[in-house]
Structure 1
Amino acid sequence: MKTIKVCGLNYTVVIKEHFKAYDDERNLWGYCDYEQQIIYIRESLSEERKKQVLIHELTHAILQEAGYKEQDEELVTRFSIILHQVLSENPSLLSV
């Protein structure tokens, strides 16, 4: 299991096929449980899609821990798509 530190908290990444958000009956591609600090990602997604979903859910976690309790899903989606592209196409970005 992978963990990602966000604002001093360890978020565990769980890859599994079926999970439900506490307030949503759909079987989502991903979900971020802020109370348990767990990021769920659907197992049957392609590897590239899993990475995109991870960045999306990580964006939710970052905003939550920064104090943004209300989050605009469209903004998170647009931002995370571009962030995924930047990170993917610049693998040495953080090796300054």
Structure 2
Amino acid sequence: MNDKKATINEIKKLRQVPDEVKVRLKEYGRIKKTILKALEADPKSIPEISAETGLDQEVVTYHLMTMIKFKEVEVDSLDDMDEYYSYRKAEG
């Protein structure tokens, strides 16, 4: 049994997560929380989220599309001028 644990520990040493990946993951989590917090009160468009959070519109768009893919955010409606969709937190 000790040999098995030793082997597992050696494999863990070889499979270290690079620091760059850890930093990116933390940044993704921070941005995701910021966007979800902006959407708590009411649905918002990408420019509105960008203005409220201080994030670039490209960053907001990328993360919103990712969150839509994983069903964390939903499309709410299209504005009156048919320019921007508004997004809301997914229910459930």
Q: TM-score, normalised by structure 1?
A: 0.28
Higher strand share: 1
Structure with larger RCO (C-alpha < 8 A, sep 6+): 2
**Structure of greater Rg:** 2
Scaled by the length of structure 2, what TM-score is found? Answer: 0.29
Structure with more helix by fraction: 2
